[in-house]
Chain A
């Protein structure tokens, strides 16, 4: 089967996942169009990461079907780049070594890979940090390296699992703006998981709300019609932003309360 340009980038149909007796997500239907930035919010432990792992092909779903550009997903999703929540850089490789890794694995010549990796490090603002090892970088710098490491392979789909969750507020807004600028260049399909509703609205075209776990499902799907390009700090102050926030928060609050009650 050929992948189809007009097909959705990501299409999940009745997808469920369980770990032993624990049902993490149940009956999830989700479609993301090519070039769409979709944020997924929900209370902690609602199976958001589980969903990303399914789309990445790291863990096949217990039930349901995943289609990537119209093609059923079998094994790892080769169209996707994955930005993990935890530190995922190889600690024994330098920043440059980490960024060029994907190219090296694909058999790109060393010099060429090195050249491209330098370019990408510069692009994420880390010129001059090529020879640092991950433990010599701050949290924000590590995230930039991880972003360059993923983007250098030019994936059509970008999966992001609370990538900026561990950063301080200033660094975080900086990174969010840089992410938007990079995304604006070639409009990848993005699935962005976060528990921060403001971050979700500021970044995304659509916000999908998950219910509290176990057996999480989608309880809301809201379009975010804010003009682009956006500045994540400024957009938060606009009337439209607050209106969307109020609307989604009404629903999300219930789920957060339910998660806490448990």
Chain B
């Protein structure tokens, strides 16, 4: 099953890449607008060989991780607070909804103005995206705590702080973790969009530079590097998630032995 899926995936990829390559070579589509896979591969190889890509990758990774960490920590803390303090939650609810309704791209120029062309403005943009994902998931996770488990922990003598430690946080953890994979994607978007709109380094900057001179090969090469970058980050997060949530039953395996 797994091998078959892998086979078809490889086949599909090969089909698309070859189709693209030959469409250009046979003159069906214009290489100026579409470039071609062999050129893109050569460009990526060149970037890594000359080492010029590493600086850009490093900056984007750094921005992504900072936005991810800061946004998640703020989101989780706010989510915990508002889920456990109904009055504060009721007061802040319209403000949070209003803030979340702002299209973040609009904020990018303002952040550039406030924080400059460097890393800080990209991190700020990423944080505005990541924060809400972490916040809403934590809030929901706390609200969905099993009332029987909660009552049981209280009967066993848990204080407020102990309930947080032993019940609320672990219960919300599965929600928080499922939000992490969405969050890392948003953090990348924040970093790249920020770089694209104004920066001196990073993958977004690289793509925007290529676009500026109608270098479609450079644009596609940047996109490929970015896609691989995101897949690797997502894989890393899912590994961490699997390690930390060992207690969770695998879907369809509820019930266990005897």
Do A and B bind? Answer: yes
Residues of A within 8 A of B (CB): 56, 58, 76, 78, 80-82, 84, 86-94, 101-102, 105-106, 132-138, 141, 149-150, 153
Measured between alpha carbons, how far is A90 from B173 in the docked complex, in Å?
Answer: 13
Show 5 residue pairs from A and B whose CB-CB distance is below 8 angstroms, ordered by the A residue: A84-B151, A91-B248, A92-B170, A105-B157, A138-B258
B151 contacts A136, CB within 8 Å?
Answer: no
A82 contacts B247, CB within 8 Å?
Answer: no
Task: Name the one of B151, B162, B249 contacting A105, with C-beta atoms under 8 angstroms.
Answer: B162
Contacts of B149 in A (CB 8 A): 87-91
Q: How far, in Å, is B65 (CB) from chain A's closest CB? A: 27
Measured between alpha carbons, how far is A137 from B258 in the docked complex, in Å?
Answer: 7
A106 contacts B154, CB within 8 Å?
Answer: no
Kindly supply a per-residue 1/0 record for chain B positions 134-171, scoring 1 wherever the CB is within 8 Å of any chain A CB and 0 otherwise: 00000000000000110111111111001000110011
Closest 10 CB pairs of A and B: A135-B249, A88-B152, A92-B170, A136-B256, A102-B156, A92-B247, A82-B155, A133-B247, A86-B148, A105-B157
Q: How far, in Å, is B141 (CB) from chain A's closest CB? A: 12
Q: How far, in Å, is B229 (CB) from chain A's closest CB? A: 32
Contacts of A102 in B (CB 8 A): 156-157
Contacts of A132 in B (CB 8 A): 256
B156 contacts A101, CB within 8 Å?
Answer: yes
Interface residues of B in 151-195 (CB under 8 A from A): 151-159, 162, 166-167, 170-171, 173
Task: Name the one of A89, A101, A137, A149 contacting B257, with C-beta atoms under 8 angstroms.
Answer: A137
Measured between alpha carbons, how far is A207 from B254 in the docked complex, in Å?
Answer: 36
Nearest CB in chain B to that of A146: its residue: B152
Instruction: Please tell me the number of chain B residues within 8 Å of chain A, measured between CB atoms.
Output: 27
Decide yes or no: A90 and B254 within 8 Å by CB, A82-B155, A105-B158, A106-B157 being known contacts.
no
Nearest CB in chain A to that of B250: its residue: A135
Residues of B within 8 A of A (CB): 148-149, 151-159, 162, 166-167, 170-171, 173, 246-249, 253-258
Q: How far, in Å, is B243 (CB) from chain A's closest CB? A: 13
Measured between alpha carbons, how far is A94 from B247 in the docked complex, in Å?
Answer: 8
B248 contacts A81, CB within 8 Å?
Answer: no
A90 contacts B166, CB within 8 Å?
Answer: yes
Measured between alpha carbons, how far is A84 from B154 in the docked complex, in Å?
Answer: 12
Contacts of A137 in B (CB 8 A): 256-257
Contacts of B167 in A (CB 8 A): 90
Contacts of B156 in A (CB 8 A): 101-102, 105, 149-150, 153
Task: Name the one of B152, B154, B171, B256 contacting A92, with C-beta atoms under 8 angstroms.
Answer: B171
Q: How far, in Å, is B242 (CB) from chain A's closest CB? A: 14
A141 contacts B258, CB within 8 Å?
Answer: yes
Contacts of B166 in A (CB 8 A): 90, 93, 101, 105
Nearest CB in chain B to that of A80: its residue: B155
Q: How far, in Å, is B244 (CB) from chain A's closest CB? A: 10
Nearest CB in chain A to that of B151: its residue: A58
Decide yes or no: A76 and B154 within 8 Å by CB, A89-B149, A90-B170, A133-B246 being known contacts.
yes
Q: How far, in Å, is A13 (CB) from chain B's closest CB? A: 23
Measured between alpha carbons, how far is A136 from B248 in the docked complex, in Å?
Answer: 10
B256 contacts A135, CB within 8 Å?
Answer: yes
Q: How far, in Å, is A188 (CB) from chain B's closest CB? A: 15
B257 contacts A138, CB within 8 Å?
Answer: yes
Contacts of A138 in B (CB 8 A): 255-258
Contacts of A106 in B (CB 8 A): 157
Measured between alpha carbons, how far is A90 from B208 in the docked complex, in Å?
Answer: 51
Measured between alpha carbons, how far is A92 from B146 in the docked complex, in Å?
Answer: 12
Measured between alpha carbons, how far is A88 from B166 in the docked complex, in Å?
Answer: 13
Measured between alpha carbons, how far is A136 from B154 in the docked complex, in Å?
Answer: 24
A93 contacts B247, CB within 8 Å?
Answer: yes
Measured between alpha carbons, how far is A131 from B222 in the docked complex, in Å?
Answer: 48
